[in-house]
Amino acid sequence: MPCLNEHLLCSFVNGEWHMRESGYIIIEGNIGAGKTTFSKHLTDAIRDTGCRSTLLLEPVESNPFLPLYYQDSKRYAYTMQEHLLSKRYAMTQFAQWGALSDYGWFVMDRSYFGDLYFAMVQMKDGFFTFDEFRSYISSHRCMQTNIHFPTAAIFLDASPAACKRRADARARDCESGLSMQYLESLDVEIARLKAFMNRMTRVVSLPWENDQDKSQLKATAHKVAEQLTQNLEAFDDFYSPWGACQAGLFEPCAH
């Protein structure tokens, strides 16, 4: 059965189904999973199919609050998370605008949606006060009115132990204090986001526990790119840019 919405995977022209030439994809996973590296390979692989593709990297290096957060988490957690939320929101808006305007594919190294699992962990670990968490959720909800769900959400499935090993190996100074407990907490919330995304859009789960060399990464990226741009598989439910996000994402939290 062909897909139900022309902005998902394909289009119907002159009685035939054709390659989908635009969309936006979010790459999600724990810190150190390998999102940036895979995002770069996927962007190149989509171009190899003949489609235009733009890479939007997570605003980590340009985040002035991240080093401060790792030095004093309680003091800077809310400031850092609001800063990242605004940046990821702007990037997600840019990606969806480009996709809906047929400017090709946009590959996002994390997104507005993924920002929420960091905030959930900040709250649970005591780095947000309850009022700060309510303020963050209010901002997130207001932004939701201008966000469409992505064409696809790709999750790199790697254990917290594998993510810590990779994060330590890349020697990013501000991440030197990453704890297993923090990564394990993020892992729980990422699983919740994946379950939610499974109800709202197409989800691709990639086993990412073992390290891969460049040729393996390229092969995986090309396989995913071909599936997303050429696969005519239908969705069971009609795609809605509004969905029922608040029913799954914004559950009340105890003090």
Residue 235 buriedness (CB in 10 A; 0-12 / 13-18 / 19+): middle
**What is the rounded distance in angstroms from the CA atom of residue 10 to the CA atom of residue 114?**
26
Residue 250 counted as domain residue: no
pLDDT for 109-133, tens place per residue?
999 999 999 999 999 999 999 999 9
Per-residue model confidence (pLDDT) at position 168? 86
Q: Give me the chain's average pLDDT, please.
A: 82
Residue 73 counted as domain residue: yes
CATH value at residue 151: 3.40.50.300
**Whether 174 contacts 73, CB under 8 Å:** no
Residue 18 counted as domain residue: no
**What is the rounded distance in angstroms from the CA atom of residue 2 to the CA atom of residue 134?**
42
**What is the rounded distance in angstroms from the CA atom of residue 233 to the CA atom of residue 218?**
23
Residue 151 counted as domain residue: yes
- The single-letter DSSP state of residue 173 is G
Residue 123 counted as domain residue: yes
Residue 240 counted as domain residue: yes
Residue 196 counted as domain residue: yes
Which positions ≥6 away from 135 have C-beta within 8 Å?
Answer: 78
Per-residue model confidence (pLDDT) at position 252? 43
User: Low-confidence residues of the chain, pLDDT below 70?
Assistant: 1-20, 61, 171-177, 231-255
Burial annotation 184-207 (CB, 10 A radius, 16+ → b, else e):
bbbbebbeebbebbeebbbbeebe
Per-residue model confidence (pLDDT) at position 60? 72
Range of the domain at 80: 24-244
Q: How many domains does the chain have?
A: 1
Residue 1 counted as domain residue: no
- Angstrom distances, CA of residue 127 to CA of 16, 17, 132, 182: 54, 50, 9, 12
**What is the rounded distance in angstroms from the CA atom of residue 90 to the CA atom of residue 250?**
21
